[in-house]
Structure 1
């Protein structure tokens, strides 16, 4: 193997730049040529790539986003464009491709592997919901962004005797809401994995405020409910002053935490070594703190279950003392 390439695909995540840096410098230390592909699979099918050197990644480790840009490429679901991408890589003399992204990015990498292009993928998504790995690059930063925002929101909610809804990302997985909610002491955590009752929430919230609370934080994953609609409904039902904040892309940007910078650096280097060791069609992730390499087919079968014990702990430490469990049914 003499020449490899790297791309970032799907949603951006803090730590992707650290991962790119690690890939580039590990490749150079291994006497490989390294190319960067712009805009993910969209850039690949347009042959938008450049050679990279050590200075190409100088000073990027603490930057959010991705210097290689990213995109969601619908065309790459079509066989014609998959073959076109593989042909471009062969034409460029690329012996292996490293993909940084989520489950959708793995699908594209798997198609290229099936066409004879060695690929490995490292997990990069703030939702921490990828198959086959315990951790994904960007999740820790997103959680810390939510915790920081909630600390500010709680101050102003307390000043006005308000309840506050904080809507966070998580259309299909509530990991950001759960991890951030437990860390910041949210009274209520709403996640798509656990159906909840608006009526129970309204009753519990009213009891909390009548008992003398000066504020109450409801962290709501976007897949659990619409934050603004929920806020309007609760205000009408309880007559409690409620403010709603939708954090949105604040969770995706900004300097990665130390954990995400470390994780990205470790997985970036491991990805290059995996290609050099002949691995292909594999996810380079983590399990119980150790780097693991799993074939895509095997990784697909491994889906982390919802962390029921952690959720139950958050409920107990939150508003549970006043009928704070707002679940429709037990888990």
Structure 2
């Protein structure tokens, strides 16, 4: 296990904090019998090879070893490692949902980036490049990480039959993001639905993102997943306007069921009503997709925009995360030209 780990020149590969010399120890710690040690290693890897959604030259090199760990049935916390692999591949999924990764676009952006890779000092080299070359370099690094995880698609398909429902769920989630492998993945995902409701709902959403048609099922979360997959407007409206608090066992959008339903809705007038009904029931991270979608839909609708702002002004909780004003929410409002302080918004509305 991990026999070739020391063959990688980690000291000449950078992650978010510089040379990646610490990555081998973190990867080995993922096999530790000590749960705290494993947890620290996972947190460190999320911080260095996946730092706030950014990937680095070391990221792609860590992936084969993570895949090796996931493939071993006696590795602890395999569902957690599958989540890390997916994050390395795609960043944050809200950047893509309600679609999958636009990989053809990413590959075009990365063209020529490989030739710009330095032998060392990635960050210093990047700063020395013109802006367009910096973009190509980062696009190449991102696609390299994505392709490293893509090599695990056959493994992810086999893990759909794993005894652990958490592993099956995370394997289905991972498959959703590789549209170039859609044919084989849809075939794997559309067999008999998983007896575990969370894994089944995740597989149904993944099937839809890859262009397949999932089978029907009466279980509540599977009905939600099928509405996402098939763009079933009446069902999506029910979910988008509900006070459902979500289910963080669903990996898509952190389990924000109503938020993903809202983002999957087509452009119809009643959709805004459903979104506005949902706003008072969300805060923190859950508020971002709901309010973001409502802002997008009211860009050219002054009456609708005012209705949205009135709801925001009347709902202080929507601005908060953990009882404090949420910076990402404030940034979202500012990006749409909305007063990003509740008192200023109330004054603006008169």
TM-score (norm 1): 0.27
The answer to which structure has the higher helix fraction is 2
Name the one with the larger strand percent: 1
> What TM-score do you get using the length of structure 2 for normalisation?
0.26
